[in-house]
Amino acid sequence: MTRHWGLRDVPASRAEAYRSAGWWTDQTLGEVIHAGVAERVGARVAIHSRTRPFTGTFGEVHAMARSFASALADRGVGPGDVVVMQLPNWVEAAVTFWGAAHLGAVIVPVVHFYGAKELGYVLDTVDPDVVITAASFAGQDRISPLGHLITPERADRWFVVGSGGDPLPHGLHRFEELLDATPLDEPLRTDPGAPAVIGFTSGTTRNPKGVIHSHQTLGFEVRQLSAFNPVLGPPPLIGAPVGHFIGMLGALLLPFFRIQPINVIDQWDPAEALRIMLRDELSLGGGATYFVTSLLDHPDFTSEHLSLIPSAGIGGSTVPVAVTRRLTDLGITCYRAYGSTEHPSTTATVLDGPEDKRLTTDGCPLEGVELKLDDHGQILSRGPDLCIGYTDPDLTAAAFDEDGWYRTGDIAVLDADGYITITDRMADVIIRGGENISPAEVEEQLLGITGVTEAAVVAVAEDRLGERAVAVVRQADDAPMLTLTAVQEHLAARGLAKQKWPEAVHIVTDLPRTPSGKVQKYVLRRQLAEREILT
């Protein structure tokens, strides 16, 4: 069942080439996980959380996952059905992901801090058979704001983690109800070329894009990631949320291709992360620049911590050369990688590669990946880990050409040695700490403020998070001066996730435009960088 999603056709000759090379196999995610657990049944799973800590083994978590799968199977859920999961980095996220994979279901991880607006769009788009969410997180009620999304039909298949013994509103069910069934022994068989995971990523459109991966594309991606991103030193502590594509891969799938335990933290607190690293002798998982720099900049960071981080793979957001050189000066072997939710591992440098390439470029195409630049310098890519389309058929038609090349929207230069360096984005997406922010989505909400006549949201470089969002606004002549506090209160009332809020507001009398009247955002970015626009 594809629910009219925009799946693309992979030419038979290319699919056969991927299979012949061993890049695509007949294993489903459920079979990968089942076999992986059998090889490391006693390996440690540790959830570092102030509210829902957990320590156990792969075997124990997998047993819960198989009970979860059995309970859903008794409710008629099976291959091709859709399970939406919006959970922090808790053990229930692993149970849900592994259990849904055991059923051959399509798993839709949603970042746990997304608000009602984003979750509502996801639910309307994928029409899930099961929904799993949290009762609360970080002291905030996570049920009440979703009340308008919980229809009677959804409530009957909506399960809540951390609800305690009190009755739930709206007819919702407790997650624990799914853990009492007799565990399902073997994974249910499904087509390895069928949808397995849908990752929603905010881009340049007003709503998140649903990126569809198959069992084959994800299976190859995880093997690819394991091959070029080796673990040196202690096991990593992962801070990226499992609702985000890279956090999902690193925490819930990659361990099955490595002999390593799972260690995740549910809230990224640098002081707490540093304490855990020393106590449990853990290193740092790769990812966005922020996860590294937030540790280095913290007053608790010591030489003992440094000894636990022999290497660092950086990607997922803008990677300033100043950061890679800083890591190198500290003795951390640094390397960069480039990819997206659509094509996760596109290029990378390697640990033993030339230092100048590792520090200043985004690497070469990885195994199986083809890459070229079009006349505008835009990267076109294809390969065995390229997604199979979007939930929106129009997006699929726009992003892929007839030969299967994916239009990334990223501009790059290619040097004589085959290394690429990303120089710009055709789209104006903002990447804050590895999380994509759609300016159009924020702008639309800003225009709901009385007196705001025009709004442009752009990225400004920021050392800690890579980028931050800044709003440049035109107001009516009689409108009171808009403040940052007023903007943030308005966006909070609209249910927009805090991570998407502008961190500065500038009031201008006009905006730079093309002859057709379109706002020139690249000019705004330059003006902000050169302080030609001041608060």
Highest mean pLDDT among 183-197, 458-472, 487-501: 183-197
CATH hierarchy code of domain 438-529: 3.30.300.30
Fold match, 268-425 / 438-529: no
DSSP labels, 234-293: SPEEB-S-TTSHHHHIIIIIGGGGSS--EEEESS--HHHHHHHHHHHT-EE--BSHHHHH
Q: Give the pLDDT score at 215.
A: 98
Q: Give the pLDDT score at 204.
A: 43
Share the mean pLDDT of the chain: 91
Mean of the pLDDT values across residues 449-459?
Answer: 89
Instruction: Please give the Cα distance from 145 to 157 (Å, whole number).
Output: 18
Q: Give the pLDDT score at 37.
A: 95
Question: Which among 413, 409, 414, 474 is positioned nearest to 436, based on CA atoms?
Answer: 409
pLDDT in tens, 211-224: 999 999 999 999 99
Q: Does the pLDDT value for residue 512 go beyond 60?
A: yes
- The model's confidence at residue 302, banded by pLDDT at 50, 70 and 90, is very high
Architecture, CATH, for domain 29-190: 3-Layer(aba) Sandwich (3.40)
Q: Does the pLDDT value for residue 145 go beyond 50?
A: yes
Query: What residue segments make up the domains of the chain, in order of their start?
Result: 29-190, 268-425, 438-529
Question: Which among 319, 274, 320 is positioned nearest to 298, based on CA atoms?
Answer: 274
pLDDT in tens, 222-281: 999 888 877 788 999 999 899 989 899 999 999 988 878 999 999 999 999 999 999 999
Task: Domain 268-425: state its class.
Answer: alpha beta
Please, what is the angle between helix 29-39 and helix 215-228, to 10°? 40
Residues 6+ apart with CB under 8 A from 521: 428, 439, 456, 458
pLDDT in tens, 91-140: 999 999 999 999 999 999 999 988 899 999 999 999 999 999 999 998 89
Q: Does the pLDDT value for residue 167 go beyond 90?
A: no
Q: Give the pLDDT score at 293.
A: 82
CA distance readout (Å), 449 to 139, 440, 446, 484: 29, 15, 6, 12
- Angle at CA 102, nearest 5°, toward 100 and 104? 75
383-392, 457-466, 491-500: range with lowest mean pLDDT: 457-466
Instruction: Please give the Cα distance from 266 to 258 (Å, whole number).
Output: 22
- The model's confidence at residue 533, banded by pLDDT at 50, 70 and 90, is confident
Between 301 and 517, residue with greater pLDDT: 301
3-state helix, strand, coil in the chain (%, to 5): 35, 25, 40
CA distance readout (Å), 371 to 337, 363, 377, 378, 386: 14, 12, 12, 10, 12
- The model's confidence at residue 2, banded by pLDDT at 50, 70 and 90, is low
153-157, 203-207, 265-269, 276-280: range with lowest mean pLDDT: 203-207
Half-sphere exposure (Cβ direction) of 528: Cα atoms closer than 13 Å: 27
136-150, 154-168, 282-296: range with lowest mean pLDDT: 282-296
Question: Which among 303, 292, 421 is positioned nearest to 356, based on CA atoms?
Answer: 421
Q: Which residues of 499-526 are buried (b: 16+ CB within 10 A; e: fewer)?
A: bbbbeebbbeeebbeeeeeebebeebbe
CB 240, CB 414: distance < 8 Å: no
Q: Does the pLDDT value for residue 43 go beyond 90?
A: yes
Residues of the chain with pLDDT > 90: what percent?
67
